[in-house]
Structure 1
Amino acid sequence: MQNKFRNSAVVLTLTTLSAFLLACGNMAETPVPTSENKSTSSVNQAGEDTGSAEQTAADEGKVQQTRQFKDWTGHNATIPVTPERVIYHGEVTGDLVALGVIPVGILRQEGMVFDDLVANAEDVGFPFNVEKALGLNPDLIIFSNNDEEQYSQISKIAPTVTFNSFASLEDRMRILGDMLNKKQEAEEWITANKTATAEMWKQLHENGLKEGETASVFTMYPGNRLFVMAGAGLPQLLYGKDGLTPTDEIQKVIDEGMGFAEISLEKMTEVAGDRIFILDPVTDDAKQSTKELMDSPVWKNLPAVKAGKVYNFSIVKASGDAMSREWLLKELPKQMMQ
């Protein structure tokens, strides 16, 4: 039941954060399997009524090679060697974009750093809109969910693989690189990201960041609920090599395999680090709660607040995907070095 709720809700994080919080809590429960590269060849024969996507390829006289791919939840799916019309349904679309793959269908969220690059992609919605997906003639659907009932319906449209969007960024890029026949591009991106990340932290340390400084990431959820984030998105960058350190209370959350924890306002005094990062929410009521938080005596008396070491980021832009990571590597120094 827990996993089913997690996966039905996870995409709602794109507009409300709720599923982001729920999904992060299950990160430790779902190991990331590696894909299998057992390649086989098959031919879509012209004139054979095997579905609109295959028919289109056949009509154009194309020969499409396929192979077996073992996905996140253990399905052995037969997928194209080089997918050309991909639908990605999940919250890390930027991973595909960073590999040079622009999906024909996505779960759209306005305000991402790569909006212009996916402007022509169709929004397949939440829940997944089967009719829209059919009209896109996909040759591969990547489904960031482990709900078997939904998988069964979606996999009737086109070859479908499940994908753990809460795996580490490097793991995701390698899995997608394999899945999309972009292995070289994935390794090049990983290498470039490691170099850029190291250079960013070097720059920050040269400009006042001290070894061992702690950091906390907070966000407000509708209903005046305060959360400290630990295991996805911005924290993955902050708590990486050469970076900032989680406070003891946040480390406990991480050690428990949880991506977040709801806390009281009073608890902030124990959780807040030397530097505080606020993820600005999307909904109006959560925005109002954030304002009330910052007007509170507890907030105003935090050492980081008094020292002017508070940084605000849009929760949409400071996402965990590869394109957002590239943006954060440039934006983080801008804010921290002001």
Structure 2
Amino acid sequence: MQEHKVSSRNRKKLAIPALLPLMLVIMLLAGCGNNSAADNGARNGAAQVNAAAATPSPSPEEEPEATEAPAAQAYPLVVQDELGHEVTLNAAPTKVFAPYMEDSLVVLGVKPVGQWSNKGQGQGYLQDQLGDVPLVDFTNGQLPSPEVVMSLQPDFIVLHNSYYAENGVYEQYSKIAPTYVFQQAAGDLDSSVTKLGELLGKQEEAAKGLADYRKKVEEAKTALAPHIQGKKALVIRFNSRGMFLMGGVYGGFVLAEELGITKSDLVAAENSVDLSLEVLPQIDADYIFLANDTANTGETFYKELTESALWKSIPAVQAGRVYDVDDRYWLGGGIVAYSNVIDDVLEIIVP
């Protein structure tokens, strides 16, 4: 940086002991003028130096500034949930009950006071981290009673979709602890994980988890691109009630919305469609993924489908592009589940 120098006036001593008054006046006026110019020059020079110091010229060797970590959440916190309820948190929650959002809690490093389960089984792919967390029964979609939830002593309850809040459940649960309701948390992970991080004071963990996941998605899309052009995919789910074509939910969401693999026309506008043998000739998918919901005993319908002559006539079946997948995370919702689905898809499709 160049230094801005302000020159000072040269002062001359008067050599003549007595001067004419007129000449004295002229010299005094000239001196005042020089003082003013010097002062202005000093101020201008200092201003230029300060401005240069405040805004240094960019240099190619300089490292870009690191992105600031999200600010710590301040409590008390008053928010409105996605159904319009006002929710007040006086402090960061430490005893959280968020059934079927355990995947997101794991990403945030939070262990809940109880975990969703169906017929005595929690979400299998999370049990290495949640194995010691009490199971709370949600079999057949039945929500636990207020008494069961109260016994967990939560200081915050999160319901992952609006269905869970119906039939007076929200009113009952919100008397136990502040209760936040999502419309459909699994349908928008960026929003739901970010919001959950804000509510729990885990913004930094939420941002990192999402950034890592987005990086994985982009890398997978790049690897898949040469293999999925013009191809369609379909997920078929089996449980005790029947068999269903899955559209934009769970593993189907990852295939279509995250990885960009075109949906079968049969589920182009639906999240789930009942499947019967009569529909099989209409299946237009190049890749078919079978998720047998073992907790809901889908084995009977699985055999009915895969042993039928109509099934064996489908082009994807004849081409050997039918794959049994792990229902524990293909029918789950969250960063961990979706990451596992991506791993499966890459292993199956990319040589």
1:65-90 CA-partner distances (Å, limit 9, x unpaired): 4211211211101114421111112x
Change (3 A) 1:187 1:219: same
Q: Secondary structure at the match of 1:124?
A: strand
- Corresponding residue of 1:77: 87
Alignment of 1:44-83 (within 5 A): 65-83=75-93
- Corresponding residue of 2:268: 251
Q: Secondary structure at the match of 1:330?
A: helix
| Residue identity opposite 1:130 in structure 2 | P
Query: Structure 1-normalised TM-score?
Result: 0.72
- Corresponding residue of 1:101: 110
Change (3 A) 1:76 1:146: same
User: Given that residues 80 and 139 in structure 1 are in contact (C-alpha distance below 8 angstroms), is that contact kept between their aligned partners in structure 2?
Assistant: no
Q: Secondary structure at the match of 1:107?
A: strand
Change (3 A) 1:247 1:133: closer
- Corresponding residue of 1:143: 159
| Residue identity opposite 1:321 in structure 2 | G
- Corresponding residue of 1:234: 251
In the alignment, the residues of structure 2 paired with residue 240 and residue 322 of structure 1 have an alpha-carbon distance, to the nearest angstrom, of 14
User: Which has the higher Rg, Structure 1 or Structure 2?
Assistant: 2
Q: Quote how far apart the aligned CAs of 1:241 are.
A: 4.9
- Corresponding residue of 1:58: none
- Does 2:331 match 1:322? no
- Corresponding residue of 1:36: none
1:176-207 CA-partner distances (Å, limit 9, x unpaired): 1222122222222222111111212323346x
Structure 1 residue corresponding to 2:180, chosen from 155, 161, 172: 161
In the alignment, the residues of structure 2 paired with residue 284 and residue 306 of structure 1 have an alpha-carbon distance, to the nearest angstrom, of 28
Query: Structure 2-normalised TM-score?
Result: 0.70
User: Given that residues 104 and 120 in structure 1 are in contact (C-alpha distance below 8 angstroms), is that contact kept between their aligned partners in structure 2?
Assistant: no
Structure 1 residue corresponding to 2:281, chosen from 258, 266, 269: 269
- Corresponding residue of 2:346: 333
Q: Quote how far apart the aligned CAs of 1:285 are.
A: 5.0
In the alignment, the residues of structure 2 paired with residue 101 and residue 241 of structure 1 have an alpha-carbon distance, to the nearest angstrom, of 26
Whose helix proportion is higher, 1 or 2? Answer: 2
1:47-105 CA-partner distances (Å, limit 9, x unpaired): xxxxxxxxxxxxxxxxxx4211211211101114421111112x232011111111112
Question: Can you give the 5+ residue segments of structure 2 that lack an aligned partner in the other structure?
Answer: 1-72
In the alignment, the residues of structure 1 paired with residue 340 and residue 254 of structure 2 have an alpha-carbon distance, to the nearest angstrom, of 12
Task: Please tell me the root mean square deviation across aligned C-alpha atoms, in Å.
Answer: 2.4
User: Given that residues 73 and 146 in structure 1 are in contact (C-alpha distance below 8 angstroms), is that contact kept between their aligned partners in structure 2?
Assistant: no
Residue identity (%)? 27
Q: Quote how far apart the aligned CAs of 1:298 are.
A: 1.1
| Residue identity opposite 1:297 in structure 2 | A
User: Given that residues 78 and 89 in structure 2 are in contact (C-alpha distance below 8 angstroms), is that contact kept between their aligned partners in structure 1?
Assistant: yes
Question: Can you give the 5+ residue segments of structure 1 that lack an aligned partner in the other structure?
Answer: 1-38, 41-64, 254-258
Structure 2 residue corresponding to 1:299, chosen from 311, 316, 320: 311
Q: Secondary structure at the match of 1:278?
A: strand
- Give the length in aligned residue pairs: 268
User: Given that residues 217 and 279 in structure 1 are in contact (C-alpha distance below 8 angstroms), is that contact kept between their aligned partners in structure 2?
Assistant: yes
User: Given that residues 248 and 256 in structure 2 are in contact (C-alpha distance below 8 angstroms), is that contact kept between their aligned partners in structure 1?
Assistant: no
Q: RCO (CA 8 Å, sep 6+): is it higher in 1 or 2?
A: 1
- Corresponding residue of 1:25: none
User: Given that residues 89 and 178 in structure 2 are in contact (C-alpha distance below 8 angstroms), is that contact kept between their aligned partners in structure 1?
Assistant: yes
Change (3 A) 1:296 1:129: same
